[in-house]
Structure 1
Amino acid sequence: MKEEYDFTGGERGKFFRENAKLNLPVYLDDEVQAYLQERARAKGVDVAQLVNEMLKQEIKLIEAVK
């Protein structure tokens, strides 16, 4: 890295998008990923859909015991 950078020609907020949607990466252990891929394949859905369904069920359980 340089010790100093020149931002005199910079424009504040040039790439800011208020309604931008961020998709955060989630890193799974190898055995968890393999299991989920197998279950998703068996159900005929993609892994993202299966994981979202599982997490929604988990959230319901957590909320039920509050």
Structure 2
Amino acid sequence: MRVLKMRDSYDFSKSKPNPYAKKLKKQVTIRLDEDTIEYFKGLAEDKGVPYQSLINLYLRDCAQSHKDLTMKWQ
């Protein structure tokens, strides 16, 4: 087995910016009802994706299609 040793310094003068940096995700805290989380966890398990990714995909779809929320207070 070959062991690599860390150098004392590295040359990044020819490095390029990360092309995906604008699409990095931002961590936020959001409060969701337990039944909502369980719904997405079950759906995510059926689809084979992490539930947080599924929630993100759903919210992104809502934003891209400019879905408008209709609320009726009773």
Give the Cα–Cα distance (whole angstroms) in 1 for the partners of residues 31 and 49 of structure 2: 19
Normalised by the size of structure 2, how large is the TM-score?
0.51
One-letter code aligned to 1:24: V
Percent identity over the alignment is: 26
Give the Cα–Cα distance (whole angstroms) in 2 for the partners of residues 27 and 53 of structure 1: 18
**Count of residue pairs brought into register by the alignment:** 43
Judging changes above 3 Å, is the alpha-carbon distance between structure 1 residues 22 and 43 closer, same or farther for their aligned structure 2 residues?
Answer: closer
Normalised by the size of structure 1, how large is the TM-score?
0.57
- Is residue 71 of structure 2 the alignment partner of residue 46 of structure 1? no
Give the Cα–Cα distance (whole angstroms) in 2 for the partners of residues 31 and 22 of structure 1: 24
- Give the CA RMSD over aligned residues: 1.9
Question: Where in structure 1 are there 5+ consecutive unaligned residues?
Answer: 1-20
Query: Which protein, 1 or 2, shows the higher relative CO under an 8 Å CA cutoff with sep ≥ 6?
Result: 1
- Is residue 29 of structure 2 the alignment partner of residue 28 of structure 1? no
More helix, by proportion = 1
Give every structure 1 segment of 4 or more consecutive aligned residues whose post-TM-superposition deviation is greater than 6 Å: none
Give the Cα–Cα distance (whole angstroms) in 1 for the partners of residues 61 and 26 of structure 2: 23
